[in-house]
Structure 1
Amino acid sequence: MHKPPTFIDLFAGCGGLSLGFLNAGWKGIFAIEKNADAFITLKHNLIESQNYNYEWPNWLPKSNHDINDFLVTYASQLKSLKGKIDLIAGGPPCQGFSPAGKRDPNDPRNRLAEKYIEVVSIIKPKLLLIENVKGFNSSFLKSDKHANNLPYSHHVKSRLESLGYSVEFQILKSSDFGVPQLRPRFILIATLLEADLAQDNFELLLASRQIFLKKKGLPSKRSISVREAIADLEIEGQDLTDSTDSPISGYKQLNYLSNSAATSSFIRLMRKDCSKGYIPNSMRLPKHTPAIKTRFSKILSECRKGYSLSTEDRKRYGTRKHSLTPLDSSKPSATITTLPDDILHYSEPRILTVREIARIQSFPDWFSFLGPYTTGGKKRKTDCPRYTQVGNAVPPLLAEAIATYLLHCVKGKIECKIMKTS
């Protein structure tokens, strides 16, 4: 019986990328994540789960780890893994590259990609995967006249090539892989030259896309709309109950069991592995003041759906929000961020619940999010509440599609499989 290929997840967040790889049939070795809240969520769902194949080494505590400390503390153990791991995956923190941020080339978070490369240089796996915002492949300055203004992706490519890897990267739309959200992502795939694996990875990955979606029971010739993702979580005319996992009393949530009609293939997929009577967590509804509800109602009735409010509109409605987008129910969602009030529900005057944005990110309903719902003040720099965990995550369906392709790639079966099913 063939052993499943192995992977390590760096900058793992709450586990979106790991979930995709585990669902595709890979075996996880360990995951490194600095934030305690995000790691607890990953640990609860994937590491301590009986349903997944995470083979954690005895020498590494099952807790959150800073990548810098990890490299120093476990240097000898990492060296012992050289040539024994099939893939290292990771999504280094992206705030320094994101168009939504300041795009500062000197942002210290940019250097965390170097730590990923350092781990790669020690272990030398057959395959590499890096996921990031599309700004990872954009210049920091408007002018491209100087060599030092090349996109950071080119620097990473050069560093990996010097370590003996063939490197390809491309911007992929998450909505092309069953995620009900546009969410363009920078994806880098690198193969160790001496491993003699398939090249033209993106051509083969895109060719395998329809096969993947068909197996998931999802349409392959159109995108999933946001209504197809969360219609069963609408609250108008539905029973509300007290929130089951809110540390603060007075919050309500939808009666999940009373509104269980699976109205789309995507909703059926998200509810698929929930046991009878199971109620997902993180369904707490926001509490808006009457004035906020009135403002949101006006925005929903007067503004273009699916587009961020213009400067004029923000002034007209008295909001200082830099970005506020009312969703268009017939289209994929705008990109989910870490800020819960960046997006309005398409038909109800409220922001989305954590469970709704988790759906839009393609997390299944059985996946629980732990830690506080939101945070503020000085804690913003250290805490990673549920909304942030979900907003930072790699969409599990996108991760699974890539991982499924890479599984066949490492087994040498991808070209044959595509020919047989195309």
Structure 2
Amino acid sequence: MNSPETQVHHLDGVRILDLFAGPGGLDVAAHFLGFKSIGIEWDRNACETRYAAGLPTIHADVSVMRETRFDEIPRSVDVLAGGPPCQSFSVAGNGAGRRALDTVKEFIHRLVDGEDEARIDKDLHALGDSRTALVLEPLRWLLKAIETEGRDPYKVIVLEQVPAVLPLWEVYAKLLSGGEGRLKGVKYEADFWELKTEQFGVPQTRTRAVLVARLPGHGAVEPLEATHLPFELHRGKRNAAQADMLPTDSAIPETKQRWISMAEALDAASKLQGSPVDVARLRTGDKMKFFVVSNYGSGGDPKNRGRRLSSEPAFTVTGKISRNKVYKSIAEYEAGRSDRFTIPESGVLQTFPHNFPWSGKDQAQQVGNAVPPRLGMHVLGRALRGNAPSDKELAAASIWPSVSRTTTEDLRRLGCGDQSQCPPESHKVIGSRRKSAP
């Protein structure tokens, strides 16, 4: 980070530090709630998207940043947020993290008890998957703030991960509530939940483990209240003809709204001025009807690809969403004529604004790695204000404000100005030509 004048301009009033920030799911959520954030992200491509979106960013390794550059974090930051990489805990991954859950719980206690961190790092390395250790980083950042002179403990902590990490969030919550060891008597009100994204207006089925902790004085941390009904898929009892038979909101007696379908989300985005989402190819007459065949197997059979109707929420949006096949009809399916979701369409299914400026390479992976901003708005709203986002805030979240090239360049200099402090190989130079994201 360089140019102090530039830093002051873009970082003034920043409250939220987003570890493992990705392209900015939590930062987008914070923006629409009226909070300023700064993210730490090691992937150059995700950083390019963040710069284009006007999101303050430090292009660095989270661990290195904590160890050697902690003083560069604005002192106005009082909220710690993050979603550590989940591949080693994910059901879709190799399972190393799941098998090591009990071991990682021990590491959490060892950190708080004050054991030598060099020894802890050595033992973590022996686990064989460096990503597993990253779930400890939020705790290490909290301990760093508590133990650094002139810094205050974070007032609020917000963490999210795949459901398999819920037992670790339980350990986090108990330790944060106890205030023992290196926490030095700092106690939090803390709770954790498993949340289904479609119950918060996200047009996809995705389950996340979320922890929220706050210093006393702001009341107990209350569970989030779902705004939409869960999506229940009764496999084997549905066919394409049922697309018009699904209940409408008026047919449901409960006060909650029905989940949002792919067709509803994409159609709404396509009607916004200047939208890059063009769903004309998915329409038959004046109706949008299609079905999606997943890239993943179902029921333990890799050849049994799951299917979703356009009148249903999407499958979990992953980095492989561009491999999902979209068909308008059975005839297209039988003929092998498939379509794909574009990056803007994939972003909309993640509840990013329709015009979010996806940049750099591996954009599908960026979309899949992100926290759905709409879920983020509900989580941050509860954590920072004690209430859900308003209808006005949610409506505004469909359009991203334009960002000048000057701002993007300022943020790139702020985040990548000293390339020697960026992750190794991320600015690799071959001869006189630089290999980088566009």
For the aligned pair, the TM-score class normalised by the smaller chain equals: 0.5 to 0.7
CA drift of 1:371 comes to 1.5
Q: CA contact under 8 A between 1:324 and 1:344: conserved in structure 2?
A: no
2:431 counterpart residue number? none
Q: CA contact under 8 A between 2:318 and 2:365: conserved in structure 1?
A: yes
Corresponding residue to 1:408 among 385, 393, 397: 385
Alignment of 1:15-34 (within 5 A): 15-28=24-37, 30-34=38-42
Amino acid at match of 2:276: P
Identity %: 29
Name the SS of the counterpart of 2:319 in structure 1. coil
1:13 counterpart residue number? 22
2:191 counterpart residue number? 168
Name the SS of the counterpart of 2:94 in structure 1. coil
Residue deviations 1:301-358 (CA, integer Å, cap 9, x gap): 9x8x9995456682xxxxxxxx843322221111111113553325362332222211
Alignment of 1:11-410 (within 5 A): 11-28=20-37, 30-47=38-55, 62-78=57-73, 81=75, 84-104=76-96, 105=100, 106=127, 107-123=129-145, 124-137=153-166, 151-161=167-177, 162=179, 163=183, 164-193=187-216, 196-202=217-223, 205-206=224-225, 209=227, 220-230=256-266, 232=267, 267=268, 272=272, 276=273, 278=274, 280=276, 308-309=297-298, 314=303, 324-340=305-321, 343-345=324-326, 347=328, 349-372=338-361, 385-409=362-386
Amino acid at match of 1:351: R
- State how far apart, in whole Å, the 2-side matches of 1:184 and 1:308 are: 18
- State how far apart, in whole Å, the 2-side matches of 1:326 and 1:114 are: 36
1:237 counterpart residue number? none
Q: CA contact under 8 A between 2:197 and 2:205: conserved in structure 1?
A: yes
Name the SS of the counterpart of 2:225 in structure 1. helix
Amino acid at match of 2:82: G
- State how far apart, in whole Å, the 2-side matches of 1:179 and 1:86 are: 28
Residue deviations 1:178-224 (CA, integer Å, cap 9, x gap): 1101111111101123xx1121421xx317x48xxxxxxxx942100
CA drift of 1:108 comes to 1.9
TM-score, with structure 2 as normaliser: 0.59
- State how far apart, in whole Å, the 2-side matches of 1:356 and 1:37 are: 19
Which of structure 1's runs of 4+ aligned residues deviate more than 6 A? none
TM-score, with structure 1 as normaliser: 0.61
Q: CA contact under 8 A between 2:90 and 2:164: conserved in structure 1?
A: yes
- In structure 2, list runs of 5 or more residues that go unmatched: 1-11, 101-126, 146-152, 229-254, 282-289, 330-337, 391-438
Give the 3 Å change call, closer, same or farther, for CA 186–342 of structure 1 in structure 2. farther
Give the 3 Å change call, closer, same or farther, for CA 329–197 of structure 1 in structure 2. same
Name the SS of the counterpart of 1:399 in structure 2. helix
